[in-house]
């Protein structure tokens, strides 16, 4: 198997793993909405039947506060579930990156040469574990969905009343505002899954610096213009892959010339 085909296979697998996390998130989101929506529907029906709807009505008897609390509870449940989904996806991605990178590296070795590459499992996984601890970026991002969703809800309902919008219009706007939370969660899952994969790739490359001199950026068809420009560019082994949210780019190892590597290891060209 060639390096190019192994790299492409790894990319297909990691994109599929990331898509699986997205499917799980959508399913969790469906459950969350099913719990929140009846309360919102009831609220809007009441609002429609009450004459002279105004902000006072919205704030009276804790109506808005109750609705916000319902949304808040739903979002907290979603965030907790999402953290589990994203965490599992990250762990799988790190393992996949580990396994695929060993195969990528093996694919660079000339025929008739036996060469063992050092694993980087520990380094890669501890990096991923760190990303999963409670004060991690991922956890913080997911927890922030709740206050943001509550703030959007408040803004929307207030604006809907000021604008004199009907319940149906308001309901659609609320739905849209909440869906922003799903789309953020999807972005987090996609981004962090690929970050874990690349982390495992680079950790493996660096564990084998006697052979690997750097890495080459591998973009996907349909990548953003910045990433398309980076496609095929060479980077030093110590460089991290600086990408953007939702990026699906991965990297390919760049090895020193195998005659140099074998010469340095005391193996003559004749032995090849
Ligand atoms: Zn990219």
Q: How far is the CA of 244 from the centre of ligand 1 (A)?
A: 7
Is residue 73 packed enough to be buried (19+ CB in 10 Å), middle (13-18) or exposed (0-12)?
Answer: middle
Distance of CA 35 to the CA centre of its chain: 25
Which helix (H) or strand (E) covers residue 253, if one does?
A: strand 250-255
Q: Is the pLDDT of residue 16 over 90?
A: yes
Q: How far is the CA of 240 from the centre of ligand 1 (A)?
A: 13
Mean model confidence pLDDT for the chain: 88
Alpha-carbon torsion 80, 190, 124, 13, what sign? positive
* 72-to-134, 138, 178, 234 alpha-carbon distances in Å: 19, 19, 11, 46
Q: How far is the CA of 31 from the centre of ligand 1 (A)?
A: 32
Q: How far is the CA of 272 from the centre of ligand 1 (A)?
A: 38
Q: How far is the CA of 215 from the centre of ligand 1 (A)?
A: 15
Q: Do residues 86 and 188 touch, judged by C-beta distance below 8 A?
A: yes
Q: How far is the CA of 199 from the centre of ligand 1 (A)?
A: 15
Q: Do residues 205 and 34 touch, judged by C-beta distance below 8 A?
A: no
The per-residue pLDDT for range 166-201, each reduced to its tens digit, is 888 888 888 888 899 999 999 999 999 999 999 999
Q: Which of 89, 96, 95 is nearest to 25 (CA)?
A: 89
Q: How far is the CA of 224 from the centre of ligand 1 (A)?
A: 6
Q: How far is the CA of 110 from the centre of ligand 1 (A)?
A: 30
Q: Which of 105, 107, 102, 104 is nearest to 121 (CA)?
A: 102
Q: How far is the CA of 187 from the centre of ligand 1 (A)?
A: 13
Q: Which of 117, 105, 86, 104 is nearest to 196 (CA)?
A: 86
| Least confident stretch, 8-12, 34-38, 63-67, 81-85 | 63-67
Q: How far is the CA of 226 from the centre of ligand 1 (A)?
A: 7
Q: How far is the CA of 176 from the centre of ligand 1 (A)?
A: 27
Q: How far is the CA of 252 from the centre of ligand 1 (A)?
A: 14
The per-residue pLDDT for range 140-161, each reduced to its tens digit, is 888 888 888 888 888 888 888 8
Domain boundaries, the chain: 3-210
The per-residue pLDDT for range 157-168, each reduced to its tens digit, is 888 888 888 888
**Topology (CATH) of 3-210:** 1.20.120
Q: Find the mean pLDDT for residues 205-229.
A: 93
pTM score: 0.88
Is residue 156 packed enough to be buried (19+ CB in 10 Å), middle (13-18) or exposed (0-12)?
Answer: middle
Q: How far is the CA of 230 from the centre of ligand 1 (A)?
A: 8
Q: How far is the CA of 194 from the centre of ligand 1 (A)?
A: 10
């Amino acid at each position: 198997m060639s390096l190019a085909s192994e790299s492409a296979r790894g990319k297909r697998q990691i994109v599929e793993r990331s898509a699986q996390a997205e499917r799980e998130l959508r399913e969790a989101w469906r459950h969350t909405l099913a719990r929140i929506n009846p309360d919102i529907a009831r609220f809007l029906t009441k609002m429609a039947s009450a004459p002279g709807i105004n902000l006072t009505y919205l704030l009276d008897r804790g109506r808005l506060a109750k609705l916000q609390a319902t949304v808040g509870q739903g979002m907290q449940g979603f965030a907790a579930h999402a953290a589990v989904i994203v965490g599992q996806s990250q762990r799988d991605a790190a393992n996949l990156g580990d396994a695929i990178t060993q195969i990528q590296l093996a694919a660079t070795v000339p025929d008739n040469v036996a060469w063992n590459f050092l694993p980087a499992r520990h380094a890669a996984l501890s990096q991923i574990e760190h990303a999963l601890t409670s004060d991690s970026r991922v956890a913080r991002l997911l927890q922030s969905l709740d206050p943001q969703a509550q703030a959007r809800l408040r803004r929307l309902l207030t604006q809907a009343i000021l604008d004199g919008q009907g319940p149906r219009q308001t309901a659609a706007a609320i739905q849209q505002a909440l869906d922003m939370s799903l789309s953020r969660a999807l972005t987090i899952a996609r981004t962090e899954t690929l970050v874990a994969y690349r982390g495992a790739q680079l950790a493996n490359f660096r564990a084998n610096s006697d052979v690997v001199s750097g890495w080459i950026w591998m973009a996907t068809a349909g990548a953003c213009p910045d990433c398309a420009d980076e496609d095929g560019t060479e980077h030093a082994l110590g460089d991290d892959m600086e990408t953007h949210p939702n990026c699906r780019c991965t990297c390919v190892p760049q090895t020193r010339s195998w005659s140099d590597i074998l010469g340095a290891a005391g193996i003559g060209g004749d032995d090849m």
